[in-house]
Amino acid sequence: YAFRNIALYHYSHNEFDEALKDHTKSIEIFEKLGDQEGLRLGYNSLGLIYYRLGYYPLAIKNYLNVLSMLEEINDKPAIASIYTNIAKIYYKDGNYNLALDYLKSSLKIQLEENDQAGMAENYNSIGNIYFQRKGYKQALEYYQKALSVYEKLKNELALADRKSTRL
């Protein structure tokens, strides 16, 4: 994990070329070791770096590698996260139809898993797509869904905070 940690350092300092080199080295090592978790983390990191650099096809390629690994172990929350990451790329690239498809796939899992924070983020993102496509009524519906979930999360956090002060 040393190369991965060094890569994370470089990424946090916006030294993306160095981060790419170190993540690639870590992936080579994880492949030799058969370390599936290390591979998932490495490919996910490459996807993020390529996204930040605007190399969208490479970002998607790496996210799809991660996705196939996650599907093998049926890690639904992580699958939803990767769907959301892919959707962000398509959105940024102006491919709203594919972005919407991936967001809806992610949202389906988040509803099943009751991932409130993920649901709120994706409702908002879906609203943004409809807004960009001038579907203002649909955008408003999704923004309202996002707001409802955000309010619920805020209320739950407030309740947890009150309980913690009574110790």
- Are the beta carbons of 99 and 133 closer than 8 angstroms? no
* Residue 24: its H or E element: helix 16-33
- For the cut 60, the answer to whether the pLDDT of residue 163 exceeds it is no
What average pLDDT does this structure show over 11-26? 92
| Residue range 36-52, pLDDT digits in tens | 999 999 999 999 999 99
Half-sphere exposure of 39 (CA within 13 A, CB side): 15
* Residue length of the chain: 167
Q: Which H or E element spans position 76?
A: helix 76-92
Kindly report, residue by residue over 61-99, the tens digit of the pLDDT.
999 999 999 999 999 999 999 999 999 999 999 999 999
Distant-in-sequence, close-in-space partners of 24: CB < 8 Å, separation ≥ 6: 46
Q: Distance between CA 68 and CA 42 in Å, rounded?
A: 14
- Token pair, residue 120, equals 């709120």
pTM, two decimals, is 0.86
pLDDT tens-digit map of 105-161 = 999 999 999 999 999 999 999 999 999 999 999 999 999 999 899 888 875 654 454
Weakest mean pLDDT among 1-5, 28-32, 48-52, 134-138: 1-5
E strands, the chain, where? none
Furthest-apart CA pair in the chain: how many Å? Answer: 52
Closest Cα partner for 101 from 118, 121, 113, 87? 87
